[in-house]
């Protein structure tokens, strides 16, 4: 059993290592095969563990750090929560690897020896391995290792096409912004260790209630610091600026990392350390508020984007806001359930968008798409299922069940939070179907040049199936996770049904609004040309001006200080030494005039000096 668990984690790393060492010298098909097989085998092992799961399982590979007072082992723990995460990561990861083995096949944009194809799969495998370490770690330190590992892979994969500078900048932005969160999280880990003497998760969850009472300052500080890390990784306010730019990477990367898995690491962290958050109600409230604010913010921003991937990026930010909202009101299970459904339909949406843009010569502008309904039928139906699930259309979509669970929990906690959620729901369906209509209806603006391959179609169809059917597994899911999370007391069942009806009608209204927007463009055009309209459009398009704000607030002062300090006193000292030598050279060369008289004068002066020295001795 324990070995199987380790295989799940180590197989992707083995794949990555093989590809890094030998990928350049093996044929393309082999690299693709190795890349997909390692994740495939990992998934099979994960499924084996899942079907035979009875009790939580703890195993340690080796004692990692062993010094007096601080012992950390490289260990994994399989319980219901990590089982869910592991299954999703391996399954969705496998499907995306299959998709990308076909979609990235011609993408080898560099000469063979620096090849793109095997490098891509090496990084993707490394990512899946790190993500698995993150979700399966039984100790906060290996968790942090996986945390940093996925951050690294995110950087490597966003900047995959590194010859274009802009991609490098986007990768740097992602890394630096998440670093801010990571630093907060590290301080949080220090505090935990200092207070509790251990970083083992289960021990922390057991010791924390004994040491602190709810509302204690220290535990609130720890919770806020951990939340800082989660905010960075999950792209919530105020550290969300990196995710829209991260769309510079290849589409499978966006699907895997920035939709289904890495960005949900923050949600996982808070869920895993839920005991600490329960002990710090103020921090938990802040989590909920941030979630609510972010989901509204991102929803409005998604409404005006023209790049299809940016719509989906803001959509991801918004949906993770829902998960944060759920965590903030104590609905741990609902948050995890939404994570599962979101992984399916968001990955589906990204891969489907990838099919569209591949077919249109990498065109990503929605306003240059149109009329693709009959040209790309697979993309049409899968994208439709994706946006339906995203909008939580009633009863037939998985998104409906998970989002409703969250809204129900929010209603029981605070009406304001519920209101934010319901407004978000309207906007979600509006922007989702806006994108759908713009891409598939209307006049054909760009010709279709390439149809999707078999593996790509397979991946999106499977994801579409789960985007519908995963919702029906809600009750078994809750049962599974009841062992990990405490029970949440909610209002009665009838309230739940009423709320479900309200949110369904509201979502359908959003679809209608999108339809009106699409079929009657003159209404929006008139508004769009007015001054208010243009200003508002620009404001929303740039994500409410956060980039501008951060540039003024942080980037420019930092650069000014760095440039000002680039020739500080240490530099001046060393440069001064050089200048002194130069000056000395100039001065001494000037004495070499070549004239006899000058040399004789020098002799005389020397004679005076020597005579003086000798005389002083006399």
Partner 1 sequence: MISVPTNHALILAAVIFLIGAVGVTARRNLIFVLMSVEIMLNATAIAFIAAASKWHQPDGQVFVIFILVTASAEVAVGLTLFLRIYHGWKNLDADEVSLMKG
Partner 2 sequence: MNWYFYASGIVAVIAALMVVTRANAMHALLYLVTLFLAIASVFWTLGAPFLAALQIIIYAGAIMVLFVFVIMMLNIPNEAQRERTWLRSLIWVLPAFLVLILLIQFVVAVGTKGAPAGAVIASKAVGRSLFTEYVIGVELASLLLLAALIAAFHFGVLPERLETSDD
User: Which residues are at the interface with partner 1 (CB under 8 A)?
Assistant: 589, 592-597, 600-601, 604
Name the burial class of residue 473, with classes exposed (0-12), middle (13-18) and buried (19+) by CB atoms within 10 angstroms of its CB.
middle
**Closest distance of CB 606 from partner 2, Å:** 10
Nearer to partner 2, 516 or 605 (CB): 605
Strand ranges inside 499-610, DSSP E = none
Nearer to partner 1, 482 or 585 (CB): 585
Which entry of partner 1, partner 2, none binds 593, CB below 5 to 8 A by partner kind? Answer: partner 1
Which entry of partner 1, partner 2, none binds 596, CB below 5 to 8 A by partner kind? Answer: partner 1
Which entry of partner 1, partner 2, none binds 592, CB below 5 to 8 A by partner kind? Answer: partner 1
Cis peptide before 238 (omega within 30 of 0): yes
**Closest distance of CB 595 from partner 2, Å:** 13
Which entry of partner 2, partner 1, none binds 594, CB below 5 to 8 A by partner kind? Answer: partner 1
**Number of chain residues interacting with partner 2 (CB under 8 A):** 10
**Closest distance of CB 615 from partner 2, Å:** 5
**Closest distance of CB 590 from partner 2, Å:** 17
Nearer to partner 1, 54 or 597 (CB): 597
Nearer to partner 1, 395 or 612 (CB): 612
Which entry of partner 2, partner 1, none binds 595, CB below 5 to 8 A by partner kind? Answer: partner 1
Q: Among 461, 236, 253, which residue's Cα sits nearest to residue 344?
A: 461
64-67 LR contacts (CB < 8 Å, sep 24+): 64/141, 64/142, 65/141
Q: Among 311, 267, 310, 269, which residue's Cα sits nearest to residue 290?
A: 267
Residues with Cβ within 8 Å of 495's Cβ and at least 6 positions away in sequence, in order, are 408, 411
Of residues 549 through 608, those in contact with partner 2 by CB under 8 A are 601, 604-605, 607-608
Which entry of partner 2, partner 1, none binds 608, CB below 5 to 8 A by partner kind? Answer: partner 2
Which entry of partner 2, partner 1, none binds 614, CB below 5 to 8 A by partner kind? Answer: partner 2
Q: Angle formed by the axes of helices 332-359 and 398-413, to 10°?
A: 140
Residue 441 corresponds to which tokens in the numbers above? 């209806």
Nearer to partner 2, 555 or 611 (CB): 611
Residue 500 corresponds to which tokens in the numbers above? 């479900």
**Closest distance of CB 585 from partner 1, Å:** 11
- Asked if 79 contacts 56 with a C-beta cutoff of 8 angstroms, the reply is yes
**Degrees (nearest 5) of the Cα angle 213, 219, 221?**
145
Among 416, 526, 577, 611, binds partner 2 (CB under 8 A): 611
Nearer to partner 1, 67 or 586 (CB): 586
Q: Is 57 helix (H, G, I), strand (E, B) or coil?
A: strand
Nearer to partner 1, 532 or 596 (CB): 596
Among 51, 67, 590, 615, binds partner 2 (CB under 8 A): 615
**Closest distance of CB 587 from partner 1, Å:** 13
**Closest distance of CB 613 from partner 2, Å:** 10
DSSP state of 470: G
**Closest distance of CB 602 from partner 1, Å:** 10
Q: How far apart are CA 341 and CA 542, in angstroms?
A: 28
Which entry of partner 1, partner 2, none binds 605, CB below 5 to 8 A by partner kind? Answer: partner 2
**Closest distance of CB 603 from partner 1, Å:** 9
> 240-249: b or e for each residue (b if 16 or more CB lie within 10 Å)?
bbbbbbbbbb
- Asked if 63 contacts 71 with a C-beta cutoff of 8 angstroms, the reply is yes
Residue 78 corresponds to which tokens in the numbers above? 């399989």
Which entry of partner 1, partner 2, none binds 67, CB below 5 to 8 A by partner kind? Answer: none
Q: How far apart are CA 436 and CA 384, in angstroms?
A: 7
Which entry of partner 1, partner 2, none binds 611, CB below 5 to 8 A by partner kind? Answer: partner 2
Q: How far apart are CA 49 and CA 35, in angstroms?
A: 22
Q: Is 110 helix (H, G, I), strand (E, B) or coil?
A: coil
3-state secondary structure 177-239: HHHHHHHHHHHHHHHHHHHHCCCEHHHHHHHHHHHCCCCCHHHHHHHHHHHHHHHHHHCCCCC
**Closest distance of CB 604 from partner 1, Å:** 6
Nearer to partner 2, 489 or 617 (CB): 617
Q: Which residues bind partner 2 (CB under 8 A)?
A: 601, 604-605, 607-608, 611-612, 614-615, 618
């Amino acid at each position: 059993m324990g070995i199987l668990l380790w295989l799940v984690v180590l197989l992707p790393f083995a794949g990555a290592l093989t590809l890094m060492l030998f990928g350049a010298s093996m044929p393309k098909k082999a690299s693709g095969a190795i890349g997909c097989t390692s994740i495939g085998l990992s998934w099979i092992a994960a499924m084996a563990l899942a079907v035979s799961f009875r009790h939580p399982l703890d195993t340690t590979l080796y004692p990692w750090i062993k010094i007096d007072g601080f012992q950390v082992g490289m260990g994994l723990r399989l319980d219901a929560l990590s089982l869910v995460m592991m299954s999703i990561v391996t399954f969705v990861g496998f499907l995306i690897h299959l998709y990308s083995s076909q979609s990235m096949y011609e993408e080898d944009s560099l000469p063979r020896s620096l090849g793109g194809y095997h490098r891509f799969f090496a990084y993707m495998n490394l990512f899946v391995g790190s993500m698995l370490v993150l979700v399966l770690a039984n100790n906060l330190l290996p968790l942090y290792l996986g945390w940093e590992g996925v951050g690294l892979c995110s950087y490597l994969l966003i900047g995959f096409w590194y010859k274009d500078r802009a991609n490098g900048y986007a990768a740097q932005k992602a890394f630096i912004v998440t670093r801010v969160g990571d630093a907060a999280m590290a301080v949080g880990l220090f505090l935990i260790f200092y207070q509790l003497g251990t970083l083992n998760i289960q021990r922390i969850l057991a010791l924390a209630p004994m040491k602190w009472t709810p509302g204690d300052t220290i535990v609130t500080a720890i919770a806020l610091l951990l939340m800082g890390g989660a905010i960075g990784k999950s792209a919530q306010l105020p550290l969300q600026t990196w995710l829209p730019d991260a769309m510079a990477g290849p589409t499978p990367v966006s699907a895997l990392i920035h939709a289904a898995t890495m960005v949900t690491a923050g949600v996982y962290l808070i869920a895993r350390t839920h005991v600490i958050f329960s002990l710090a109600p103020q921090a938990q409230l802040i989590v909920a508020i941030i979630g609510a604010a972010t989901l509204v913010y991102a929803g409005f921003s998604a409404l005006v984007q023209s790049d299809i991937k940016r719509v989906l990026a803001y959509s991801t930010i918004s949906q993770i806001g829902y998960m944060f909202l759920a965590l903030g009101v104590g609905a741990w299970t609902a948050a995890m359930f939404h994570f599962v459904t979101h992984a399916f339909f968001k990955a589906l949406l990204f891969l489907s968008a990838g099919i569209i843009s591949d077919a249109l010569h990498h065109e990503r502008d929605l306003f240059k798409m149109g009329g693709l309904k009959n040209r790309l039928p697979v993309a049409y139906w899968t994208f439709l299922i994706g946006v339906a699930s995203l909008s939580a259309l009633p009863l037939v979509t998985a998104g409906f069940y998970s989002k409703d669970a969250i809204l129900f929990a929010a209603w029981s906690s605070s009406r304001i939070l519920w209101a934010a959620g319901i407004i978000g729901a309207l906007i979600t369906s509006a922007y989702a179907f806006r994108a759908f209509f713009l891409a598939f209806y209307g006049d054909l603006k760009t010709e279709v040049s390439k149809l999707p391959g078999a593996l790509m179609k397979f991946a999106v169809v499977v994801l579409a199936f789960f985007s519908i059917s995963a919702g029906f597994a809600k009750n078994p899911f809750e049962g599974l996770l009841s062992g990990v999370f405490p029970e949440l007391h909610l209002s009665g069942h009838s309230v739940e049904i009423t709320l479900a009806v309200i949110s369904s009608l509201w979502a359908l209204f959003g679809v209608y609004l999108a339809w009106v927007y699409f079929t009657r463009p003159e209404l929006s055009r008139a508004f769009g040309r007015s001054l208010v309209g243009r200003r508002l459009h620009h404001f929303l398009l740039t994500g409410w001006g956060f980039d501008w704000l951060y540039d003024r607030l942080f980037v420019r002062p930092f650069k000014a200080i760095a440039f000002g300090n680039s020739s500080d006193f240490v530099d001046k000292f060393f440069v001064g030494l050089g200048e002194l030598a130069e000056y000395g050279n100039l001065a001494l060369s000037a004495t070499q005039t070549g004239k006899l008289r000058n040399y004789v004068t020098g002799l005389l002066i020397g004679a005076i000096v020597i005579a003086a020295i000798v005389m002083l001795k006399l």
